Amino acid sequence: MPETQEPNSTTPAAIPGQYAEVLTDPLPPAASLDPSTRIARIQLYKEMRQKGIFVPPEHLRFAIELITLDRANKASEARKSSTSAKKASAPVGIPNIEDL
């Protein structure tokens, strides 16, 4: 059973069900999660730390994968929107001087 585990604690306490489930279930491939699920899982790890629940090494690694994917996703979206903004602001319909 997963436990809270702090450097100075001697008696680990049981942890709430939803977090225990996350820590005992097998980890899915990070890339298989959709962006909103990735963000939700990162948020869950944040909550666990705020409640003093130890996030074990394999979950830290998983969180890092999720964050890396999330950042790559955001960068890709930013590039796309920047490209469409450039297209939208590019001058259109400039007449050929020979047509004038």
Partner 1 sequence: MPNPITLPQVIDSTMLVTWRACPRKFFLSFCHNLAPAGQSVDLLFGGAVAKGLEVARKQFFIAGDSAQHAQALGINAALEFYGDFVPTEKKMAKSWEGLLLCMDGYFRHWPLATDPVKPYKNAIEFSFCLPMQALHPSGQPWMYAGRFDMIAEVDGLLHGVDDKTTGNSFSPGWSEGWALRNQFLGYTWGAQQYGLPVERMLVRGMSVLKTKCDYTQALAHFPHHLLDRWYHQVQRDLEAITRQWNEGYFDYNFGDTCSSFGGCAFNTVCSAGDPEAWLSMFARRDWDPIRQNPEVVKDAAA
Summarize as ranges the residues that interact with partner 1 (CB under 8 A). Answer: 5-7, 42, 46, 49-50, 52, 54-57, 60-61, 63-64, 67-68, 70-71, 75
Can you give the chain as a three-state secondary structure string? CCECCCCCCCCCCECCHHHHHHHHCCCCCHHHCCHHHHHHHHHHHHHHHHCCCCCCHHHHHHHHHHHHHHHHHHHHHHHHHHHHHHHHHCCCCCCCHHHC
Minimum CB separation of residue 90 from partner 1 in Å reads: 27
Minimum CB separation of residue 11 from partner 1 in Å reads: 17
Q: Please, which residue, 18 or 68, has the CB nearer to partner 1?
A: 68
Q: Please, which residue, 46 or 80, has the CB nearer to partner 1?
A: 46
Q: Which of 44, 22, 41 is nearest to 31 (CA)?
A: 41
Q: Please, which residue, 36 or 96, has the CB nearer to partner 1?
A: 36
Q: Please, which residue, 34 or 99, has the CB nearer to partner 1?
A: 34
